[in-house]
Copies of this chain bind each other. A is one copy, B any other.
């Protein structure tokens, strides 16, 4: 076993121990540094003597100040490092970096389902939208019934899903922040994988009146069933009415077929969860490379997670396509700063215990690794929480960093597929769109061989490079988008619940 420590930027005074199981004291790394302590995998070794108060540098950025002096070869633990202030949101460089004119990529395509509104799905799914949690039991009943009695009659339909959530009633629907959950739900109903079909099950007395979830231009009467308006045959009457609407829609969806679409029709989301110190070295750079390939092909990639971007926002504002986009990005940061402060919290609420075990000292280090998913393209637009995508290219979609909330909001924004990187491992999946899971470490992808789609850990050991694995991911995305291969989560039928972000009060 060759001892491996990874230094990313020439300015770094720490490196990451890459070997599975860590390295013992006395081991020499990077040709000159001898470890003074045992250092676990993913954790940091000091490459130089660092004085108390001196900056600890990773990714070429200061991730904190040393609390005590440490000589070269020491295990730099998160207790040794003080978190710096977050970058001030004033006086940042806005849209200053010339977009690199890398040549457009031509000729890449996928087989998608083209919708009437111009969007393209990677799946052909019937969604049964609910306006309120109260009707969840009925929607779940219908889904079970359709799956056991009906779906096999429509072989071109991939799935039927209930779009259930905790919003809809018992909420302060006029509160300013209620706009977020409402637009998230309105836009979830329009996800490209749902084929433009609408079926809303409502109760009738709820705050969020079900007609609001029917997209503009669609007939409310024809697409909504309110349980309180069913006057015949009790429960069976409700089910009969919904099944009738389901069958009409299944018949229409079944007539659809995939067609060859340019990558410019593809909208995907990228996210990380259960990150570790390798996420920023292996999995996220691989995603960044694939992101660049999609953007160069004219496609659209959403990156997100405000609290995991906040501490690296000074590296993003220069990449905005214009000053207005950069300012909108800063407004989203500022909104979240205030939101956390009003809840008597701050950015140090992130990272998690698992992130720390995985070697991430604080949110600064996590954020620097996180934004690498965005690649190097210019940021063409910024979306508020739950807003629908409007522009092509690389788009920042503001979401919480919580995996399942980010996933829900990216679906609302219109992604047809998601790429998810993980260091610690998660069985995360979405019912509405395929999720490609990329592991940051080979040990994880070996152990969870049937839960991980792609191993980026090979990069840490030098077995592969970012370009090779990045292009592998790009081709995998197109294969999955085309229905040629299934993701691990889809093979196993694993899906998380939708979790809608509601920063307004409940009543």
Contact = CB atoms under 8 A, between A and B. Distances in A.
Interface of A: 133-138, 140-141, 164, 166, 169-177, 203-207, 209, 227-228, 230-231, 234-236, 238, 273-274, 307, 339-340, 342-345, 349-350, 352-355, 357-358, 400-405, 424-429, 447-451, 489, 492-497, 499, 501, 503-507
Nearest to A450: B234
Contact of A448 (B173, B175, B235): B235
A404 B166 contact: yes
Contact of A236 (B355, B450, B505): B450
Given A343-B175, A501-B506, A427 B227 contact: yes
Contacts of A426: 134, 203
A173 B505 contact: no
B497 A133 contact: yes
Contacts of A427: 134-135, 137-138, 203, 227, 235, 238
A496 B132 CA distance: 11
Number of copies: 2
Contacts of A424: 203-205, 228
Contacts of A174: 345, 349
Contacts of A141: 492-494
B400 A205 contact: no
A340 B166 contact: no
Nearest to A431: B137
B352 A205 contact: yes
Nearest to A355: B205
A141 B451 CA distance: 14
Nearest to A165: B497
Task: Please provide the 6 A-B residue pairs with the shortest distance between their CB atoms, ordered closest to farther.
Answer: A205-B354, A170-B402, A137-B494, A343-B505, A172-B345, A172-B349
Given A175-B343, A207-B352, A227-B425, 8 more contacts: A137-B428, A172-B349, A203-B424, A205-B357, A228-B354, A231-B447, A343-B504, A345-B507
A135 B274 CA distance: 12
A113 to B, nearest CB: 24
